[in-house]
Amino acid sequence: MSSIFGEFLKFSQDKGPEVQLRVYGDEFYSRYESMSGYTVVYDQDQGLYCYAQLISGEFISSGVALSQSPPNGVARHFKESEDVRNRKFEARYSMMNPPASAFKPSLNLRTFGSVKGLLDGRRVSEGEIRGLAVLVQFKDVASGATREDVDRFLNGLDYHEDGNFCSVREYFRLMSRGKLDYSNKVVGPVTLNRNRQYYTENLLVKEALDLAVKDGLDLGEFDSQGAGVVDAMSFLYSGQTQYQGMLWPHNNFLELNYNGIKTYFYILSSMGKSKEDLSIGTFCHESGHMLCRWPDLYDYGNRDGDFEKSAGLGAFCLMSAGNHNDEGRTPAPVCAFLRNLVGWCDRVVRLNQPGEYQAVHGDYGTVMIYETDKINEYFLIENRFGVDLDASIPASGLAVYHCDSLGSNEWQGGTASRHYQCGLLQADGSLDLETNRSLGDETDLYQRVQAIALSHDTRPTSVLWDGSDSGLMISNIGEPGRVITFVIGRGVADHAFRTSSRSGQDIPDSNSKGIEDFISIDQVGKAKRLVVDVDITHENISNLRVDLISPSGKKAVLHNRTGIGKKNLQNSYDSQSKASLAALLGQSLKGRWTLTIRDLARREVGKLNGWSIEATY
Ligand SMILES: [Zn+2]
């Protein structure tokens, strides 16, 4: 299932033009608002979206179409009562889940991975899996995309059409390092007997499959395990995605039987109005549920007794909201936690040994794990860098996940008994994801941290959910990039020293050559932090240009003619806040450091009293 958190989407009306509505919810319960924030419902009689009234906690159509001004008695952002929401959810849920012979997942299982973190039910996450993809068109809505278009979209190699990063097949090959080769046979389009609106209330799966089988389809082709069960089945309907009732993209199971071959898990999604609308994100997300039994890593907000939604891993993982990144064309990768749960990571790097480590971006076959004395609770570390499938995630740097396979991303409270299955320790110390304030931001991942970044007494902290110390300490995190370095443990102690020069040189007025002053450093080592103090007396510092040049000749501009009319430049420049100085980090310290000062305007004059360099290495 994929939830929508307040996105604006287009909806068709039987008796009116297309409208844009704000959507909240999932296929079991959803709410729609007009652009100006009024809750609306689809009025079947009018064939139009109308303002909703609230009668004893339930939405009733006011009969006043959205195109008109809101009637009296309606207010913005109406919500149904908890009971009504629960009742509607249950009704829709049991309608979509007819009683099953073998197995029926209970309500709370969609984010609670009862099988070592995974959803229960048959998993086919390795090998050559051949799925069935049935194209479906309605009596009133024909498909704009052809079978060939969808075939390339699902199975294409080197596929980049319509802005998609790759095909669905390539996505799973990449994530699984080739362990899962998931391709689909595309059949149809089959044409259903009724108009689209009918199928918002009636599941189209059986009718579509009957039509496909009548055309001579043998379901045995999709039973790779010889279990008499179809491994994977998807229904792609024509027209734009309808976030409404039973046309809301989802995954579920339906037990049908055709010549002894049983159906089970299926996913339902749309193929859009035309091939340009084909985007791999949601299809990959739903396939992740169906094939790999991955739980959702976000929080629907209406299952566990509290209605608090939370973003879980937000835009950082396919199984939270990352399937929507770049409008679903560059979905986020599957996070290390889930890849490891299905056994896709052959290389395990244990981080319990103090020392320096490096994490390579896109190395999906590797898991970096810090184990604790609890088998179910541990920390994972992963390099996330804004390229390839990470191109649309909110931040770059080192991701640290606090994992507990007995947790659930429904439980945003973060208590000893109820906490996330996989939570991102947001480097900025915020709980934006847990409190649903955002899907992630640019300060969520660790980067360029000289000292201790994470330990038992930092915020966030590396203590376990029961409050005990995990012993995990991470420090000295490097630059974000295809490779990022970090230190487990305290690492080699940093050293620092300060050296200065008292000059007293006059700065020639309006002279592009200016003066130079030097500080020689004998210390061997790479600069980890630089703090440069400058003390210049001058009548107008906007005349001045001050540069620092490292022994290797690399230049950092410290002051460039700002501060009109201001006297005297007595400043301390810190590489932790001054980007140009930060560019000198990693430089060898040993040698002659040069400060150049040029007065580039007439009349006002001054002199260099002194300056110093404090270096940490
Ligand atoms: Zn889902």
pLDDT (0 to 100) of residue 297: 94
Residue 246 CA to ligand 1 centre (angstroms) = 15
Residue 433 CA to ligand 1 centre (angstroms) = 17
Banded pLDDT at 526 (limits 50, 70, 90): confident
pLDDT (0 to 100) of residue 1: 52
Assign 3-class secondary structure to 511-542: EEEEEEEEEEECCCCECCEEEEEEEEEECCHH
Q: List, for residues 182-221, the tens digit of each pLDDT value.
A: 999 999 999 999 988 889 888 999 999 999 999 899 999 9
Question: Over 70: is that where the pLDDT of 616 sits?
Answer: yes
DSSP annotation of 76: B
**Which segment of 50-54, 71-75, 123-127 scores lowest on mean pLDDT?**
71-75
Question: Over 50: is that where the pLDDT of 104 sits?
Answer: no
Q: List, for residues 8-20, the tens digit of each pLDDT value.
A: 878 888 888 888 8
Q: List, for residues 336-381, the tens digit of each pLDDT value.
A: 999 999 999 999 999 999 999 999 999 999 999 999 999 899 999 9
Average pLDDT over residues 452-460: 93
DSSP annotation of 473: -
Q: List, for residues 470-496, the tens digit of each pLDDT value.
A: 999 999 999 999 999 999 986 555 567
Residue 454 CA to ligand 1 centre (angstroms) = 31
Residue 319 CA to ligand 1 centre (angstroms) = 6
Residue 249 CA to ligand 1 centre (angstroms) = 9
Residue 393 CA to ligand 1 centre (angstroms) = 18
Question: Over 60: is that where the pLDDT of 426 sits?
Answer: yes
> Hey, is 50 helix, strand or coil?
strand
If 0-12 CB within 10 Å is exposed, 13-18 middle and 19+ buried, where does residue 474 land?
A: buried
Residue 152 CA to ligand 1 centre (angstroms) = 24
Question: Over 90: is that where the pLDDT of 138 sits?
Answer: yes
Residue 422 CA to ligand 1 centre (angstroms) = 15
Cβ(153)–Cβ(159) under 8 Å?
yes
pLDDT (0 to 100) of residue 103: 45
What is the residue-averaged pLDDT of the chain? 89
Residue 362 CA to ligand 1 centre (angstroms) = 23
Pairing type for strands 265-270 and 347-350 reads unpaired
Cβ(267)–Cβ(235) under 8 Å?
yes
Average pLDDT over residues 315-337: 95
Q: Residue 49 has which token pair?
A: 């979206």
Residue 545 CA to ligand 1 centre (angstroms) = 56
Domains of the chain: 4-82 (no CATH), 126-292 (no CATH), 331-488 (no CATH), 496-616 (2.60.120.260)
Residues 6+ apart with CB under 8 A from 175: 333, 334, 339, 344, 364
Based on DSSP, count helices (H) and strands (E) in the chain, helices before strands. Answer: 7, 30
Which is more confidently placed, 308 or 550?
550
Residue 518 CA to ligand 1 centre (angstroms) = 62
The whole-angstrom distance between residue 454's C-alpha and the CA centroid of its chain comes to: 22
Amino acid letter at 403?
Answer: C
Q: List, for residues 167-182, the tens digit of each pLDDT value.
A: 999 999 999 999 999 9
Pairing type for strands 257-258 and 529-538 reads unpaired
pLDDT (0 to 100) of residue 352: 94
Main-chain phi, psi angles of 386, to 5 degrees: -65, 50
Cβ(115)–Cβ(215) under 8 Å?
no
Q: What would the DSSP string read from start to end of 406-463?
A: T-BTT-TT--SSS--SEEE--TTS--TTTTTS-S--TTSSB-SEEEEEESTTSSS---
Question: Over 60: is that where the pLDDT of 73 sits?
Answer: yes
Average pLDDT over residues 293-313: 75
> Hey, is 608 helix, strand or coil?
strand
> Hey, is 27 helix, strand or coil?
coil
Average pLDDT over residues 252-269: 94
Residue 76 CA to ligand 1 centre (angstroms) = 29
CA dist 293 → 102, 509, 522 (Å): 17, 73, 59
Residue 290 CA to ligand 1 centre (angstroms) = 10
Average pLDDT over residues 161-168: 97
Percentage of the chain lying above the pLDDT 90 cut: 64
DSSP annotation of 16: E
pLDDT (0 to 100) of residue 302: 54
Residue 2 CA to ligand 1 centre (angstroms) = 4
pLDDT (0 to 100) of residue 491: 53
Percentage of the chain lying above the pLDDT 70 cut: 94
Main-chain phi, psi angles of 60, to 5 degrees: -130, 140
- Helical axes 168-176 vs 147-155, angle rounded to 10°: 10
Average pLDDT over residues 246-259: 90
Strands, sheet with 127-137, edge to edge from the N-terminal-most edge strand: 180-191, 127-137, 233-237, 265-270, 250-253
Query: What is the spatial distance between Cα 295 and Cα 318, in angstroms, rounded to a whole number?
Result: 11
Which is more confidently placed, 503 or 382?
382
Torsion of CA 187, 189, 191, 195, to 10 degrees: 130
Banded pLDDT at 412 (limits 50, 70, 90): confident
Banded pLDDT at 148 (limits 50, 70, 90): very high
